[in-house]
Amino acid sequence: MIAAKYKDMLGAKSVIRELSEYATARGKEIGYENVFDYSLGNPSVPAPEKFRQAMVDLLEKCDPMALHGYSPSLGITSVKEKVAESLNKRFNMNYTYKHIFMTAGAAGAISHAVRAITVPGDEVLTFAPFFPEYHPYIDLSGAVLKVVPPNTETFQINFERFEDMLNENVMAVLINTPNNPSGIVYTKETLEKLAEIMTKRSEEYGHDIYLISDEPYREIVFADVEDIYVSKVYDNTISCYSYSKSLSIPGERIGYIAVNPSCSDAETIVNMCGQISRGIGHNCPSSIIQLAVAEVLYETSDLSVYETNMNLLYKELTDLGFTCVKPGGTFYIFPKALEEDAKIFCQKAKNYDLILVPGDSFGCPGYFRMAYCIDTEKVERSLAALRKFVEAEYR
Amino acid sequence: MIAAKYKDMLGAKSVIRELSEYATARGKEIGYENVFDYSLGNPSVPAPEKFRQAMVDLLEKCDPMALHGYSPSLGITSVKEKVAESLNKRFNMNYTYKHIFMTAGAAGAISHAVRAITVPGDEVLTFAPFFPEYHPYIDLSGAVLKVVPPNTETFQINFERFEDMLNENVMAVLINTPNNPSGIVYTKETLEKLAEIMTKRSEEYGHDIYLISDEPYREIVFADVEDIYVSKVYDNTISCYSYSKSLSIPGERIGYIAVNPSCSDAETIVNMCGQISRGIGHNCPSSIIQLAVAEVLYETSDLSVYETNMNLLYKELTDLGFTCVKPGGTFYIFPKALEEDAKIFCQKAKNYDLILVPGDSFGCPGYFRMAYCIDTEKVERSLAALRKFVEAEYR
């Protein structure tokens, strides 16, 4: 029987993807350089040359049978050892390879984590604004994603509503800092308060509440912003990492789960991930990609462009009167729209070839996202369009 | 809550993996060249040089942002076009890119296919002897795998038992030809009879019964064996392919689903696969690997060694009095053990450093599997060990 739950999803097209397709079509009409496409979170800087060189070296120097052979079901041990070592050095942790599981990006990591620590019907809480793909990752595992409304003053956590919504069916809390779409980095105070509440409620309910920390933007943190490694703050943390943004290789589908060694059932969770993979036919990520990232663990693409772009946009947006929390990282900014319905606001912006994404699908109506992973030269040219749009429509 | 269904799987270690680990440990004692390790189905010939060259060319000539960027959610269109074209040329089909979905090997393909065409509780029938990983692929999707007992005379299909077990809850039939573990290739008669029965029962039950055709060994067919493209025989076929064996790149996790254009809901099934991927956090296979295989669609590794090995083993086994159906392809042979309990038989063989896998986990007790994807020189040396074992224990 054709599975209705997947068939029904076909109707609900992603707003982001629709806008991106519109931008491409419009680009064919007027030249893509004239479309200010802020829709997609695709890295705009190339992978480091060292990554390319690592790939070529592997292809030229390794025995092809070893290079392209099956990974062990939990990932290549030497790769996991290097990942653990790099995290220990940078964040003063004590991971071993037994706490690392290689995944197809953060998507694969979250999907494995939620299957390991929930059973169907369990609740997972996340905080608006949030990445809309959390819905398929969580909901199709059988768990239920519930969204805590935003604190729109700061885009830190709305603790009042969080405490209301926490209940004994909540087995995991899913956070994303630096955050897509707000660009906000959770402060030390936010993370410590989150940990304190989760610890207290775990004791009260008599079961662990795990923290799933989605960290694809971990390396994109701007000047003067304190960057906390989430797992340092709360033992029951499963860190979900992706190399998509830091190395600009989103198509290669590579990341990992790192389970805090002090987490309850830490090694069991990693071992269970191997079994979850069997069930979803996933197995390991590509072996050559695993081996290549292990050679460039201390490298990133030149990520400085994102901060340059943010500063340009933030200044122009605030000059134009937008309410806007200054991003601490990522390549997103999330201002308040100039009219109540951000969908209408973004629709009007298209007339100025500004492609903006309404905040509704991020759980935050009335706001809009700009993904400024585009050339700085284009950001600069877009500022006049932005000014023209605001002056024509809202003055 | 730690998910018991995955935790419980940790206890049940794979027999094949245990034997392979034993072989590795024994190799450390006496030298691996002295262990006749017939346990694992790992290709023993390198990937074609053209594959390596295609990878290097992509790394040297492509814009890294295009090369390593996100694939569209249904796979890279140009890759799918080339896959469709190659299948059309070889098998006189009429696929377009809309019928192709790129997957993480045949495992990913089967896991997507079963989720598209079944709902939890639906039955999937397969035929013993069968690849034991079908259990996690099917069972963890929520569907129920039921195994039709073998026809041990020929290892073709036991149609009598198949017709008994078919019922209106069966939504899919899963076949694997050339077959792991028997090495048998289904004849034209077998496939036509299968199609006839499935067509009749589909009409009787008033719903489609899909054929999931697992084809990782499609390119390993021996001389004088007629090689039928399954989808030619039955319209409602979803072909699940992997490049793991044909290109000797199992670690790269690349394959595809090809849905027969005349299949019911063909394009819908492909589109649903994109939604299924979101739910399991899988997305597409590595983009560079997709692009590289598209350059070598008409290449294979030098697969001739498998037929050489098969002939050596088949002759020795039959000379020694084993009952054994001659393989038509793959790199497996599946003789009858010389005592009732194949587990005891394989245990005794270890004393002669022969690593054989009992047929029990393939749904065929009393038989054993030899994976002869090893050097021919080692196969030759193993024959004396095999003779010594049989003469000492069973004469």
The pLDDT score that the predictor gives to residue B12 is 72
Instruction: Give me the architecture of the B70-295 domain, per CATH.
Output: 3-Layer(aba) Sandwich (3.40)
SS3 A368: strand
The pLDDT score that the predictor gives to residue B5 is 87
In this predicted complex, what is the ipTM?
A: 0.96
Of A60, A69, A253, the CB nearest to B250: A69
List CB contacts (< 8 A) between B141 and chain A: 279
Closest CA to B317 of B298, B303, B336: B336
List CB contacts (< 8 A) between A284 and chain B: 251, 253
List CB contacts (< 8 A) between B45 and chain A: 65
Q: Contact B111/A281, CB-based, under 8 Å? A: yes
Give the distance from residue B158's alpha carbon to the nearest chain A alpha carbon, in angstroms.
25
Chain A residue with minimum CA distance to B278: A136
Chain B residue with minimum CA distance to A253: B286
> Which residues of chain B register pLDDT less than 70?
none
Q: Phi/psi of residue B376, each to 5°? A: -60, -40
How far apart are the C-alpha atoms of A164 and A162, rounded to whole Å? Answer: 5
**At residue A47, what is the residue type?**
A
- Rg, chain A, Cα only: 21
How far apart are the C-alpha atoms of B36 and B318, rounded to whole Å? Answer: 19
How far apart are the C-alpha atoms of B378 and A255, rounded to whole Å? Answer: 39
The pLDDT score that the predictor gives to residue B1 is 77
Instruction: Give me the architecture of the B4-47+302-394 domain, per CATH.
Output: Alpha-Beta Complex (3.90)
Q: Which two tokens stand for residue B288?
A: 């560079």
Residues 325-384 of B with CB under 8 A from A: none
Axis-axis angle for helices A77-91, A287-294 (nearest 10): 30
Instruction: Report which DSSP code applies to A241.
Output: E
How far apart are the C-alpha atoms of B294 and B40, rounded to whole Å? Answer: 28
Q: Contact A116/B288, CB-based, under 8 Å? A: no
Q: Contact B4/A119, CB-based, under 8 Å? A: yes
The pLDDT score that the predictor gives to residue B110 is 97
Q: Contact A104/B282, CB-based, under 8 Å? A: yes
The pLDDT score that the predictor gives to residue A8 is 87
Residues 244-273 of B with CB under 8 A from A: 248-254, 265, 268-269, 271-272
Residues 277-296 of B with CB under 8 A from A: 278-289
> What is the domain partition of chain B in residue ranges?
4-47+302-394, 70-295
Q: Which two tokens stand for residue B290?
A: 């997709």
Is the N-terminal amide bond of A181 cis, ω within 30° of 0? yes
Give the distance from residue B338's alpha carbon to the nearest chain A alpha carbon, in angstroms.
32
Closest CA to B43 of A160, A65, A269, A336: A65
> Which residues of chain A register pLDDT less than 50?
none
Contacts 24+ apart (CB under 8 A), B221-226: B221/B178, B221/B185, B221/B328, B221/B329, B222/B307, B222/B310, B222/B327, B222/B328, B222/B329, B223/B307, B225/B185, B225/B328, B225/B329, B226/B185, B226/B187, B226/B188
List CB contacts (< 8 A) between A75 and chain B: none
Q: What is the CATH number of domain A49-294?
A: 3.40.640.10
Task: Let me know: does A290 contact A102? Beta carbons within 8 Å.
Answer: yes
Annotate B163-231 with DSSP letters as a single string. Answer: HHH--TTEEEEEEESSPTTT-----HHHHHHHHHHHHHHHHHHTS--EEEEE-TTTT-B-TT-----GG
Give the distance from residue B51's alpha carbon to the nearest chain A alpha carbon, in angstroms.
10
The pLDDT score that the predictor gives to residue A11 is 76
How far apart are the C-alpha atoms of B174 and B1, rounded to whole Å? Answer: 33
Number of helices (H) and strands (E) in chain B: give both, helices first.
14, 12
The pLDDT score that the predictor gives to residue A100 is 98
